[in-house]
């Protein structure tokens, strides 16, 4: 069963809250609830206000509520970030912190023969699946997984089980899913529901999660209008139907096709949400299929101050930089760190799009650091002088010097592609 609300012209927050209220009214039996929203790197997902509303309404009904942002391998949110995303209505002691190394418990194994079939022969080993132990043991009457459905460079589409087995999961699933996503190929995977990564997640959902955790999925579809995040759809279900409905709408409102190849794509990345190249590289993943060979992606990211979202990832990127696929494949044969950390190997590849120059514009990493990571460097001041984009809307622009560029206001809310280019 699915509860849904959608409008291509946009939904008012009061309409969204009405749907959430109906959902809560249908479950007077709830006494303890866990909310699983995304973290600050998904601040444009619409999950912040939804989480805040659930918390306020449920606690007002006498329900005990905890909130655990689905961090994956990302750094824990600061108090300032929690306030910015969820407001001041959730006390600090209501938040839990996911640790993908220490707070997990194994829940089952995906057999090697299943992996071989799912991955089309790319991976043949058993995969051990772990999730945060807070989700297990019948602690909660309901676990509400809240998140945006949007194109995703690893899962094809974000949302549904990914929020659990990656966002609240352990390192092995994160590594294997990243490996599959990268080596299956961005051009075949991005924006597609059914693919090897999603098939792996579905297997875990059907064979493990459905019997262990009382999960409900709240999925959003968002756009940005006049600089404001706007709901186009909100879907609620216990099964895959909410995700599938959100995928269908997302493919209509978030997919952008340019009529000709882009030579230079300039992308603005919100400094309040994007602090590392690990997540800011969405500016690459979401646009590169619209950029021609020999073209350039210019990422204006004033908030970027580090490469990885944890010490291990940051150290590996600083050591090797972003590298072509074949280079990383060869390195994995002799480099123990990369052979054990498949997600890192995949991330290094994803940050080096074949035949496309990437320029990072930030003042919080030095020119030397950025260039060592195999990006070109430009200061934020110089970038904004060349591309005064603070008030620009997404689309083609012709600069004063006659140069034509394509500008993307927020890569987190879409995918760009040129038909026939790749």
Check residue 413 and give its pLDDT.
Answer: 86
Buried b or exposed e, range 230-254, using 16+ CB within 10 angstroms: bbbbbbbbebbbbbbbbbebbbebb
> Are the C-beta atoms of 221 and 253 separated by less than 8 Å?
yes
**Same structural domain, 102 and 189:** yes
Mean pLDDT on 24-42: 96
Check residue 176 and give its pLDDT.
Answer: 92
Interatomic CA distance for residues 146 and 55, integer angstroms: 12
* pLDDT surpassing 90 at residue 142: yes
Reading the block at residue 52, the tokens are 């805040």
Q: Where are the beta strands (DSSP E) in 120-227?
A: 127-132, 142-148, 151-152, 156-157, 215-225
CATH number, residue 106: 3.40.50.11440
Backbone angles phi, psi at 77, to 5 degrees: -70, 140
**Same structural domain, 177 and 273:** no
**Listed residues 236, 253, 270: the one ending a domain:** 253
Q: Where are the beta strands (DSSP E) in 228-356?
A: 228-237, 255-258, 262-268, 291-300
* pLDDT surpassing 90 at residue 224: no
Least confident among 146-150, 164-168, 272-276, 360-364? 272-276
> Are the C-beta atoms of 73 and 309 separated by less than 8 Å?
yes
**Same structural domain, 274 and 190:** no
> Are the C-beta atoms of 71 and 38 separated by less than 8 Å?
no
Percent of the chain with pLDDT over 90: 83
Check residue 332 and give its pLDDT.
Answer: 84
Q: Strand pairing partners for 294? A: none
Q: Strand pairing partners for 148? A: 220
Q: Which residue segment(s) compose the domain that 159 sits in? A: 2-253
**Same structural domain, 113 and 235:** yes
**Same structural domain, 263 and 396:** yes
Check residue 73 and give its pLDDT.
Answer: 87
Q: Strand pairing partners for 95? A: 67
**Listed residues 202, 224, 253: the one ending a domain:** 253
Binning pLDDT at 50, 70 and 90, where does residue 399 land?
Answer: very high
Interatomic CA distance for residues 352 and 324, integer angstroms: 6
**Same structural domain, 215 and 68:** yes
**Same structural domain, 269 and 203:** no
Nearest one of 180, 198, 203, 25 to 107, comparing CA atoms? 203
**Same structural domain, 278 and 411:** yes
Which has more confidence, 20 or 41?
A: 20
User: 295: left (phi > 0), else alpha (psi -120 to 50), else beta?
Assistant: beta
Interatomic CA distance for residues 99 and 215, integer angstroms: 20
**Same structural domain, 361 and 347:** yes
The three-class DSSP label of residue 250 is helix
**Residue found by looking up tokens 């924006």 in the block:** 191
**Same structural domain, 204 and 262:** no
**Same structural domain, 162 and 273:** no
Interatomic CA distance for residues 32 and 69, integer angstroms: 17
Interatomic CA distance for residues 33 and 214, integer angstroms: 10
Binning pLDDT at 50, 70 and 90, where does residue 339 land?
Answer: confident
Reading the block at residue 371, the tokens are 């260039």
**Same structural domain, 266 and 407:** yes
Q: Which residues contact 176 (CB under 8 A, 6 or more apart)?
A: 115, 123, 127, 200, 342
Interatomic CA distance for residues 362 and 303, integer angstroms: 7
Which tens digit of pLDDT belongs to each residue from 66-110? 999 999 988 899 999 999 999 999 999 999 999 999 999 999 999
**Listed residues 253, 285, 305: the one ending a domain:** 253
* pLDDT surpassing 80 at residue 146: yes
* pLDDT surpassing 90 at residue 407: yes
Least confident among 135-149, 195-209, 339-353? 339-353
Binning pLDDT at 50, 70 and 90, where does residue 227 land?
Answer: confident
Check residue 319 and give its pLDDT.
Answer: 95
Binning pLDDT at 50, 70 and 90, where does residue 168 land?
Answer: very high
Interatomic CA distance for residues 45 and 220, integer angstroms: 7
Number of folded domains that form the chain: 2
Please give the full DSSP string across 102-123, using - where no structure is assigned. TSEEEEEEE-HHHHHHHTTTS-
Check residue 258 and give its pLDDT.
Answer: 96
Q: Strand pairing partners for 267? A: 299, 408
* pLDDT surpassing 90 at residue 329: no
- For helices 196-204 and 171-184, what crossing angle results, to 10°? 150
* pLDDT surpassing 90 at residue 344: no
- The mean pLDDT value of the chain amounts to 95
**Residue found by looking up tokens 């809307």 in the block:** 393
Binning pLDDT at 50, 70 and 90, where does residue 179 land?
Answer: confident
Check residue 193 and give its pLDDT.
Answer: 95
- CA dist list (Å): 398 to 287, 359, 406: 19, 19, 9
Interatomic CA distance for residues 188 and 56, integer angstroms: 42
Q: For residue 156, count CB atoms less than 10 angstroms from its CB and return exposed for 0-12, middle for 13-18, buried for 19 or more.
A: buried
* pLDDT surpassing 90 at residue 225: no
CATH number, residue 329: 3.90.226.30
């Amino acid at each position: 069963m699915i509860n849904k609300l959608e409008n291509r012209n946009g939904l008012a927050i009061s309409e969204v809250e009405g749907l959430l209220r109906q959902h809560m009214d249908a479950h007077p039996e709830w006494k303890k609830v866990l909310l699983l929203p995304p973290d600050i790197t998904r601040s444009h997902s619409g999950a912040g206000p939804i989480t805040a509303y659930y918390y306020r309404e449920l606690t007002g009904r006498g329900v005990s509520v905890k909130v655990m942002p689905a961090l994956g391998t990302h750094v824990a949110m600061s108090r300032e970030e929690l306030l910015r995303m969820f407001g001041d209505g959730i006390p600090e002691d209501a938040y839990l912190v996911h640790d993908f190394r220490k707070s997990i418990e194994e829940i089952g194994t995906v057999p090697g023969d299943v992996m071989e079939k799912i991955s089309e022969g790319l991976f043949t080993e058993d995969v051990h699946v772990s999730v945060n132990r807070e989700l297990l043991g019948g602690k909660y009457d309901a676990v509400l997984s809240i998140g945006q459905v949007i194109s995703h460079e690893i899962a094809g589409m974000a949302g549904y089980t990914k929020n659990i087995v990656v966002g609240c999961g352990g390192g092995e699933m994160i590594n294997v899913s990243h490996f599959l996503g990268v080596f299956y190929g961005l051009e075949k995977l991005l924006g597609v529901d059914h693919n090897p990564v999603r098939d792996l997640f579905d297997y875990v959902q059907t064979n493990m999660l459905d019997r262990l955790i009382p999960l409900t999925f709240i999925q959003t579809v968002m756009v940005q209008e006049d600089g404001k995040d706007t709901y186009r759809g909100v879907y609620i279900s216990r099964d895959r139907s909410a995700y599938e409905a959100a995928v269908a709408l997302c493919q209509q409102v978030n997919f952008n096709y340019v009529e000709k190849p882009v030579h230079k794509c300039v992308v603005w990345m919100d400094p309040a949400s994007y602090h590392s190249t690990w997540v800011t590289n969405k500016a690459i993943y979401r646009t590169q299929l619209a950029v021609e060979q020999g073209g350039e992606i210019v990422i204006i990211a004033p908030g970027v101050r580090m490469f990885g979202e944890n010490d291990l990832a940051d150290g590996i990127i600083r050591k090797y930089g972003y590298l072509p696929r074949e280079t990383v494949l060869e390195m994995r044969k002799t480099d123990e760190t990369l052979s054990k950390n498949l997600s890192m190997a995949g991330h290094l590849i994803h940050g080096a799009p074949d035949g496309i120059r990437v320029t990072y514009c930030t003042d919080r990493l030095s020119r030397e650091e950025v260039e060592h990571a195999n990006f070109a460097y430009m200061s934020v001041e110089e970038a904004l002088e060349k591309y005064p984009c603070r008030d620009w809307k997404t689309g083609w622009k012709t600069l004063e010097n006659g140069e034509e560029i394509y500008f993307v206001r927020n890569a987190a809310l879409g995918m760009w592609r040129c038909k026939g280019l790749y």
